Structure 1
Amino acid sequence: MYGTVRLINAVFYGHHGVMEEEHRLGGRYEVDVAADMDLSAAVASDNLKDTVNYEAIYTIVKEQVTQHEYALIERLAGLIAQEVAEAHPALDAVEVTVRKCGPPVGGLAGRSEVSLRHEA
């Protein structure tokens, strides 16, 4: 059985952006991660070792968003995807969506977002 394990809307405060003020002041970021894999063993065993642990994914996301500073959310999403894929070799693909809340666009905008898919 093939499936997807998802972590939806993990929320953090980070310091990413092109503008100096974004690095100084920071802002809210929301992250989704979808991890594709064969889940047959997990269905049969009911054992965490046979799937991807979404708490481990959360830890990777939290570290990337809160402990580093990047100019682009594309870079942030790409590094999260790479690190999740490296930490979980059984994954076939990882898709990461990063949303920047209240992006500085010279007007009102709720969010900007980027989604990247890393094929294993």
Structure 2
Amino acid sequence: MSDKISLKGIWGFGYHGVFDHEAKNGQDFFVDLEISLDLSKPSRSDNLAETIDYGSLADLVVEEITGERVQLIERLAGRIADRIKSGHPEITAIAVTVHKPKAPVSAQTSDISVTITR
């Protein structure tokens, strides 16, 4: 099945990172979701109960960004993916990309991100 739900640029302010200043000062994080599932029923019925509520997905992501601190964005992406997948058995695949545009690296970058696929 090639049906997908995508959410891009879900924003939250979190305190994730390896360094003490990241835990103290925090920074912006952005998350993209790409979810594969069969959307044939809701495409015919026009019934929200037969699909995944995008608003609840976005709220879950913000909860994770603003919640318990992790050191690695790999861990943050994995937690988001696992939590969404466990709550929605109809999902056949999920890709979660966590963007950390202000990651403390010596080179100038426009973005650093990690994508986890389950």
Say yes or no: TM over 0.5. Answer: yes
Under a length normalisation based on structure 1, what TM-score does the superposition of the two structures give? 0.94
- 2-side partners of 1:18 and 1:97: how far apart? 19
Provide structure 1 residue ranges, at least 5 long, that are not aligned to the other structure.
none
Alignment identity in percent? 35
- 1-side partners of 2:49 and 2:2: how far apart? 16
Mean Cα deviation higher: 72-81 or 88-97:
88-97
Q: Is the 8 A contact 1:11 1:30 kept in 2?
A: yes
Whether 2:61 is the aligned partner of 1:79: answer no
Displacement over 4 Å in runs of 4+: none
Q: Which residue of 2 aligns with 1:20?
A: 20
Provide structure 2 residue ranges, at least 5 long, that are not aligned to the other structure.
none
- How far did 1:115 drift? 0.4
Count of residues in correspondence between the two structures: 118
Tell me the SS of whatever aligns to 1:38: coil
Q: Which residue of 1 aligns with 2:90?
A: 90
Q: Which amino acid aligns with 1:33?
A: L
Taking the TM superposition and a 5 Å limit, the aligned residue runs for 1:29-68 are 29-68=29-68
Q: CA RMSD in A?
A: 1.1
- How far did 1:75 drift? 0.2
